[in-house]
Amino acid sequence: MKKIECFIRPEKLEMVKDALFKIGIQGMTMYEVKGHGRQRGIKLTGRTGEYMIHWINKIKLEIFINGSHEIDDILDIIMKNASTGAPGDGKIFILPVDEAIRIRTGDRGEEVI
């Protein structure tokens, strides 16, 4: 089992979600988060001059998958639908999951996902 964590632009959430639903990814968790990468924020110019916004709004998606889904297909879909080609499009992290347990029934393993 794997956990995919991806940080994307808020305006790309619906495109990514819809594309994942089409290939059978049914469950995911979404968080509204703030952060910055190497660019350390965004420099804006207004009537009062230049100023920095250090914390940029992002969406964090968590997706748990079992062996029945091809991880490369999922990653391609996320990258295709989340990309604008500009800095700040986001990042994807893939982590191993040792165990999954459904609280209601006590079921364990890949069938929980």
Domains and CATH numbers, the chain: 2-112 (3.30.70.120)
- Is the pLDDT at 23 greater than 70? The verdict is yes
Task: Using alpha carbons only, give the angle 73, 71, 99 rounded to the nearest 5 degrees.
Answer: 155
- pTM for the model: 0.84
pLDDT digits over 54-66, tens only? 888 999 999 999 8
Share of the chain above pLDDT 70, in %: 98
- Is the pLDDT at 109 greater than 80? The verdict is yes
**26 Cβ contact list (under 8 Å, min separation 6):** none
